[in-house]
Amino acid sequence: MNVTEAVNARKSVRAFLPKPVPEETVRQILIDAARAPSGGNLQPWKTYVMAGAARDELLRRVREQWEAGNFGEGTEYDIYPKDLKEPYTARRREVGYMLYELAGVTRDDKAGRIKQMFRNYELFDAPVCLIFTIDRQMGLGQWADLGMYIQNVMLLALDHGLATCPQEAWANWYKTLTEMLSIPDEEMVFCGVALGYEDT
């Protein structure tokens, strides 16, 4: 698979097989991804890998809170601007409707939408959860560096026969993640990426 093929093949997968991903494969992906451009070579990112019992415990804790009526802990940054304007609002709405439709959820099915939304917090059954953080001192340039690093992770995963789904939704559980992963105060949770073999 060449670069053009990988870029065109990358998609956000929302159905994974339970098949474990070899630890060495994950490690190699992250090592290679770190070749991403980084101004001043700051490499301001950290990656936390959750699989097996740790992954299961994360999902258990989030489900417990969700079932108690707590749908998140808020985020430390705005995932979308509060005053999002057109054409961006329409694009966001359109893709949202499309995703729910693909899952068989109608626009007026509020319970179905909530249930489908929770699939994020089941990692769509992916066996590996990658959590990405950035040093709080960093500015917009370094956030761009982080994005390029994550893109590398997703493209390299394809090269190993794996699928991904980037999930900013995990920023909504930054307190739980910080506690479980002992994330230092100077780091901010940016997002997660579900990693595994696609269920086709």
Residue 1 has pLDDT above 90, yes or no: no
pLDDT of residue 186: 98
- Give mean pLDDT, residues 169-183: 98
The answer as to whether 128 is a domain residue is: yes
Which one-letter DSSP state was computed for residue 32?
A: H
* Cα–Cα distance list, 162 to 17, 20, 40, 95, 155 (Å): 10, 11, 31, 24, 9
The answer as to whether 99 is a domain residue is: no
Query: pTM of the predicted model, to two decimals?
Result: 0.95
pLDDT of residue 103: 87
The answer as to whether 106 is a domain residue is: no
Q: How many CB atoms lie within 10 A of CB 164?
A: 26
> Residues 30-81: pLDDT tens digits?
999 999 999 999 999 999 999 999 999 999 999 999 999 999 999 999 999 9
Write down how long the chain is: 200
The answer as to whether 94 is a domain residue is: no
CATH number for the domain harbouring residue 183: 3.40.109.10
Distance CA 150, CA 191 (A): 10
The answer as to whether 82 is a domain residue is: no
pLDDT of residue 196: 99
Distance between terminal CA atoms of the chain? 19
Domain that holds residue 27: 3-71+121-196
H runs (alpha helix) in 36-139:
52-67, 88-102, 110-118
**Sign of the dihedral through C-alpha 182, 156, 6, 140:** positive
Distance CA 23, CA 28 (A): 9
Domains in the chain: how many in total?
1
pLDDT of residue 154: 99
The answer as to whether 168 is a domain residue is: yes
The answer as to whether 56 is a domain residue is: yes
The answer as to whether 125 is a domain residue is: yes
